[in-house]
Amino acid sequence: MNLAKVSYKPVGILLGAAAGAVAGAASKRIWRVASGDPEPPKATEPERSWGEVLAAAALQGAVLACTKAVVDRGGATAVRRLTGVWPA
C-alpha cells in the first residue's frame, strides 16, 4: 500500500462524516419542502403511516448515498491531482 492511499484514509473518514452531516440537513430540508412537515417521520411514531415513514427513509438514503459519492469522488480526485495516485 502506498503513502497516498494510507494518508487518504483519515481524510476519507473526515469527509464521510461531513457528508453525513450535509446529507442529514439536506434531506430534512427536502422533506420540509415536499411534505410541509418540519421533520421527517421516525419509524416509531405511531401516528405516521407506513408510506410516510418509508418515503422519508428512501429520501434520506438516496440523499446520503449521493452526497457521499460526490464527497468521496471529489476527495479522491483531489488526492490524484496532488499526488498523481488514485487513493482507493
Residue 50 inside a domain? The answer is: yes
Model confidence at 79, pLDDT cuts 50, 70, 90, reads: confident
- How many separate domains does the chain show? 1
* pLDDT for the residue numbered 43: 95
Higher pLDDT pick, 52 / 3 = 52
Residue 4 inside a domain? The answer is: no
Residue 1 inside a domain? The answer is: no
Whole-angstrom Cα distance, residue 34 to residue 48?
Answer: 16
Model's pTM, two decimal places? 0.81
* pLDDT for the residue numbered 1: 59
Q: Which three cell numbers stand for residue 36?
A: 410541509
Percent of the chain clearing pLDDT 90 (strictly above): 66
Residue 88 inside a domain? The answer is: no
Q: Residue 21 belongs to what domain range?
A: 15-83
- Region 23-36: mean pLDDT is 95
Whole-angstrom Cα distance, residue 11 to residue 2?
Answer: 15
Q: Is it the case that residue 35 has pLDDT exceeding 80?
A: yes
* pLDDT for the residue numbered 4: 64
